Structure 1
Amino acid sequence: MSDTARPVEQPRRRSLLDSLEIDTRLLGMLLAFLVICLAFNYMTGGRFLSPRNIFNLSIQTVSVAIMATGMVFVIVTRHIDLSVGALLATCSAFMAMTQQNWLPGYLGLELGSPLIAPVAIAVGLVAGTVIGAAQGWLIGYLTIPSFIVTLGGLLVWRNVAWYLTGGQTIGPLDETFQLFGGINGTLGVTLSWVLAVLAAAAAVWSVFSARRAKLAHEFPVKPLWAEVVMAAIFAGAILGFVAILNAYQVPVGRLRRIFEERGEVLPDDFTMGYGLPISVLLLIVLAVVMTVIARKTRLGRYIFATGGNPDSAELSGINTRLLTVKVFALMGFLCGLSAVVASARLTNHANDIGTLDELRVIAAAVIGGTALSGGIGTIYGAILGALIMQSLQSGMAMVGVDAPFQNIVVGVVLVEAVLLDIAYRVAAIRPKVLAVHLIVLPVLMWLWFGWPFGLGAAVVAVLAWQWMRKKGVM
């Protein structure tokens, strides 16, 4: 046998994305969000990215984002929940009636009592959890399809809310309760900076703590410079977001009223920022908790295992029926929590509260990368999906787009998100999807923004086509 010299294989150079280990789907969503923000900022003359609009955008996103985190678990387990908007309305009606009628009538507690807000919130959360568990029991133990159960729930709970309030708007709600609505409850500049610094430090610590844990178990890790870059990105994003919120100043008229209530006179050149809204802080805490549940707990592992293969999960000893009850009970609890935020932001309960929220929540989860086939989904993706949805609606409203056309755009974006998700998973149809987008996008840019943008998009499309053919994608 003769020895044959073989060339030594050179290690493949890792790209920047490979070194940073960034999820390409998440990166795509972030780029899409950036494009949406820059486009609307251009069309609104810089108003879209102003501190005031970012503040409003953040508090408007919270209600849908809270429910979207629970919808991830529902869809991952191969179910659907069409009743979340109606259930939100029922929970809101329970809390409003508790504050305005039941507590004053039966216990003599009037608005302003320190017990009003916590008791009302507890009533709403319990109502949502019980209703969600009941729907989960019908789905899990009586094997009624979730589509049918929650479609019936959409009709039932919307009208239960109407009967609870007699079809009337109930308000104003307790002032302590209104703190969870956004502009009526903020932390102020100083406390917001304190929390931002602590959160940034925690983000940096978690990055390097995870690195130490991997090294201790001899797992592969990123290069040290990549860890530093990711830690800097996380810390910079947190500090930058809080800096923008702190830049939104309280109007002079409101400041004057605040000082007058104290019996004081507003000093000249006195300014005060709103800071971080309590509702946004609630969403951040919830996102951390739900992510820990999804990644670090037995419940989370069971949810994703069941969604990946229900038969194998049941054969391995997972009680999939009880798991279904737990998932829908959690969804109901989050509907109650979302009702707190939504009704507190409106300062009252209205009959149309939560209308069409079920579609927005499902769309947010799907746009965020949750697969309708089950088994795949992320909490941060759903929150980013909710932010993208709200940015589209807010931006279109600012540029004067009619409400019907806004819904058309949202529907198209939902179908587009599913199409891109399928293309991401199924390599066989990927070239067709890419080819369609490279042809259609320049046409849309020309129709919406004029020929200069259309021409620029066409040039980019041609260059992208050539690059993908060179790489063998097309």
Structure 2
Amino acid sequence: MTDIHAPAGPKKKSAFAALEIDTRLLGMIGAFVVVCLVFNLLTEGRFLTPRNVFNLTIQTVSVALMATGMVFVIVTRHIDLSVGSVLATCSAIMAMMQTAVAPGWLGLELGHPMVAPLAIVVGIAAGVIIGGFHGWLVGYLTIPAFIVTLGGLLVWRNVAWHLTSGQTIGPLDETFQLFGGINGTLGETWSWVFGIICLIAAWLGLLQARRARIRHEFPVKPVWAELTIGGIVAAAILGFVAVLNAYEVPTRRLERMFEARGETMPEGYTEAYGLPISVLLLIIVAIVMTIVAQRTRLGRYIFATGGNPDAAELAGINTRMLTVKVFAIMGILCAIAAVVAASRQTFHSNDIGTLDELRVIAAAVIGGTALAGGVGTIYGAILGALIMQSLQSGMAMVGVDAPYQNIVVGIVLVVAVLVDIIYRRRTGD
């Protein structure tokens, strides 16, 4: 007599599994939270104050911008060691445009509404040309990216020095300085408006994704799981805006602002900084880069080439031109990061961007980008940059000397790669 067993039904998911949260992302968020709590304890509550959170965000932006581009470079199995030097060259070009070319050649003095846009456009054009040139050397002349960008590290750092004759150039245009953080923010009201817009967009994205899965007859999360994720997103966005809005402009600064307008500050008047324009710029770049990575042919080609270059070529992908495009994107992001870095310090200096190439690569790798290629996320790279900056800022507040800070960051980088290797072995990725 043969036993007949009914087919086993689908296994019931646990509550956590039903949320379908990326465990790697969850691990990075957990590490970031632990770092923040530890330093907040060591600094007696000073680390998580609105002022320090504000400073932490604007200090992270330039590295995070370049880290989003480094994801594409590493995913395609290349490396770019020149990003800090390219940033310096673009910064020097933009500084000279504002202080020498615009007033001397075009008759546009600082403060003219065209000075900052013109400098930014020229700087971004320089970034595209430099990045595209690197990509051409790598893609078409087949010179290893390590060598090309190592040479670029030396060349462009000294090109920047030559353009400025080794001098510090500044002050820069006031409109240009709006991208520096403290000098350019949305203010309390517009920060809330932007936060609510982001929240609505995020909820609509979740709803659209659910409808798409239903339309294609894919399994969907339980409604409670969707609502939970929506609540977490709401708490994260509105909480971030609330913390930034809690950082008030110092009274003396407000008085000077009123005096400059010929007015008297009302008694008891307060004003919050709100969301920095540089952070807004990072959010926009992150959204664009994520769309490119997940929703465009270019993004599919980048990850396909990184996963298997030979198969990508056999499939008809022009991997040489793809390499040029990837490095050109990296050049654009270096130029945008130069805008943020130079405007934050209100002048161009010879040491701007020094060691940024190592910070950018470390941010991408800590964020889960595989050095073997084919795997990486934009949000992971930004989170990696934030973790690194949190470590350095926290250690500086505690009183750890710079050499020891670099030792800790180096150890964290190696440990992050080891954890990533172990994770991929266990998951089979």
Partners of 2:16 and 2:384 lie apart in 1 by 22
Partners of 1:348 and 1:413 lie apart in 2 by 32
Give the C-alpha shift of residue 177 in structure 1.
Answer: 0.2
Asked if 1:321 corresponds to 2:323, the answer is: no
1:119-268 aligned within 5 A:
119-268=118-267
- What amino acid is aligned across from residue 39 of structure 1 in structure 2? V
The answer to which structure, 1 or 2, has the higher relative contact order (CA under 8 A, 6+ apart) is: 2
SS of the equivalent of 1:30 reads helix
Q: Which residue of 2 aligns with 1:377?
A: 376
Give the C-alpha shift of residue 156 in structure 1.
Answer: 0.2
1:6-21 aligned within 5 A:
6=5, 9=8, 11-21=10-20
Partners of 1:164 and 1:16 lie apart in 2 by 59
Partners of 1:367 and 1:15 lie apart in 2 by 29
Q: Which residue of 2 aligns with 1:454?
A: none
Give the C-alpha shift of residue 310 in structure 1.
Answer: 0.1
Partners of 1:374 and 1:425 lie apart in 2 by 13
Give the C-alpha shift of residue 9 in structure 1.
Answer: 3.1
Instruction: State which drifts further: 95-104 or 259-268.
Output: 259-268
Asked if 1:346 corresponds to 2:345, the answer is: yes
Asked if 1:365 corresponds to 2:364, the answer is: yes
Q: Which residue of 2 aligns with 1:402?
A: 401
Contact kept, 8 Å, 1:178 with 1:184, in 2: the verdict is: yes
Partners of 2:262 and 2:139 lie apart in 1 by 60
Moved over 2 A (4+): 5-13
Give the C-alpha shift of residue 17 in structure 1.
Answer: 2.5
Partners of 2:293 and 2:369 lie apart in 1 by 13
Q: Which residue of 2 aligns with 1:420?
A: 419
Partners of 1:68 and 1:16 lie apart in 2 by 34
1:59-138 aligned within 5 A:
59-138=58-137
Instruction: State which drifts further: 152-161 or 227-236.
Output: 227-236
- What amino acid is aligned across from residue 272 of structure 1 in structure 2? E
SS of the equivalent of 1:22 reads coil
- What amino acid is aligned across from residue 373 of structure 1 in structure 2? A
Partners of 1:141 and 1:16 lie apart in 2 by 51
Partners of 1:145 and 1:17 lie apart in 2 by 44
Gaps of 5+ in 1: 430-474
SS of the equivalent of 1:275 reads coil
Partners of 1:426 and 1:365 lie apart in 2 by 20
Deviations 1:130-155 (A, max 9, x none): 00000000000000000000000000
Give the C-alpha shift of residue 337 in structure 1.
Answer: 0.4
Partners of 2:353 and 2:272 lie apart in 1 by 30
- What amino acid is aligned across from residue 372 of structure 2 in structure 1? S
Give the C-alpha shift of residue 8 in structure 1.
Answer: 5.8
Change (3 A) 1:160 1:359: same
Partners of 1:259 and 1:142 lie apart in 2 by 59
Partners of 2:427 and 2:175 lie apart in 1 by 56
Give the C-alpha shift of residue 168 in structure 1.
Answer: 0.2
Contact kept, 8 Å, 1:201 with 1:235, in 2: the verdict is: no
Give the C-alpha shift of residue 3 in structure 1.
Answer: 3.1
SS of the equivalent of 2:44 reads coil
Partners of 2:124 and 2:263 lie apart in 1 by 40
- What amino acid is aligned across from residue 166 of structure 2 in structure 1? G
- What amino acid is aligned across from residue 309 of structure 1 in structure 2? N
Partners of 1:364 and 1:46 lie apart in 2 by 26
Gaps of 5+ in 2: none
Contact kept, 8 Å, 1:91 with 1:336, in 2: the verdict is: yes
Contact kept, 8 Å, 1:204 with 1:232, in 2: the verdict is: no
SS of the equivalent of 2:175 reads helix
Deviations 1:143-193 (A, max 9, x none): 000000000000000000000000000000000000000010000000111
Q: Which residue of 2 aligns with 1:50?
A: 49
Contact kept, 8 Å, 1:186 with 1:276, in 2: the verdict is: yes
Partners of 1:183 and 1:110 lie apart in 2 by 24
Partners of 1:71 and 1:209 lie apart in 2 by 29
Give the C-alpha shift of residue 7 in structure 1.
Answer: 6.2
Q: Which residue of 2 aligns with 1:294?
A: 293
Give the C-alpha shift of residue 10 in structure 1.
Answer: 5.4
Asked if 1:26 corresponds to 2:25, the answer is: yes
Partners of 1:326 and 1:89 lie apart in 2 by 21
TM-score (norm 1): 0.89
Mark the structure with the bigger radius of gyration.
Answer: 1
TM-score (norm 2): 0.98
Deviations 1:375-411 (A, max 9, x none): 0000000000000000000000000000000000010
Q: What is the number of equivalent residue pairs in this alignment?
A: 428
Asked if 1:389 corresponds to 2:388, the answer is: yes
- Percent identical across equivalent pairs? 71
Change (3 A) 1:325 1:428: closer
Partners of 1:16 and 1:131 lie apart in 2 by 50
Contact kept, 8 Å, 1:68 with 1:361, in 2: the verdict is: yes
Partners of 1:235 and 1:150 lie apart in 2 by 41
Give the C-alpha shift of residue 428 in structure 1.
Answer: 11
Partners of 2:379 and 2:291 lie apart in 1 by 12
